């Protein structure tokens, strides 16, 4: 089970962009639920949006067994930053899951 937590959504000025971002976040949550369906820990997928003067910073985190995945992207458009972030986040989540799956091989005595 993956819980979705989106913070600072009100910093996005345009309502259509806000709706599109929440839709993408829900799709990403569904992907992560499929990826981690047999995972032994409750996961929290957190998305934080910050707006500085001209750029948006979109960051995402996922607390896993061995470590917390944390990534951030900056762009002038919030949807572009979110799209780049979700693509990179999918790759890193898959990679970390495989590392945790093979973790017992590295820790055993030889």
In this structure, the number of other CB atoms found within 10 A of the CB of residue 101 comes to: 9
Compute the chain's Rg from CA coordinates: 16
Long-range contacts formed by 96-99: CB under 8 A, 24+ apart: 96/64, 96/66, 96/67, 96/69, 97/35, 97/36, 97/39, 97/64, 99/66
Q: Within a 13 Å sphere around the CA of 76, how many CA atoms are in the beta-carbon half? A: 1
Structure confidence at residue 66 (pLDDT) = 86
Structure confidence at residue 100 (pLDDT) = 85
CATH number of 2-107: 3.30.160.100
Structure confidence at residue 83 (pLDDT) = 95
Sorted by where each begins, the domain ranges of the chain are 2-107
Q: Sheet harboring 56-63: ordered strands across? A: 2-7, 43-51, 56-63, 68-75
The single-letter DSSP state of residue 66 is S
pLDDT tens sequence for the chain (110 residues): 899 999 999 999 899 999 999 999 999 999 999 999 988 889 999 999 999 989 999 999 999 988 899 999 999 999 999 999 999 999 999 999 988 887 766 666 66
């Amino acid at each position: 089970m993956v819980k979705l937590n989106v913070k600072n959504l009100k910093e996005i000025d345009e309502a259509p962009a806000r709706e599109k971002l929440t839709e993408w976040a829900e799709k990403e949550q569904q992907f992560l639920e499929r990826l981690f369906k047999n995972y032994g820990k409750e996961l929290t997928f957190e998305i934080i949006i910050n707006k500085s003067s001209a750029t948006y910073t979109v960051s995402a985190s996922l607390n896993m067994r061995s470590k917390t995945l944390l990534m951030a992207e900056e762009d002038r458009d919030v949807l572009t930053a979110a799209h780049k972030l979700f693509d990179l986040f999918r790759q890193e989540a898959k990679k970390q899951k495989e590392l945790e799956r093979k973790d017992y091989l590295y820790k055993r005595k030889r």
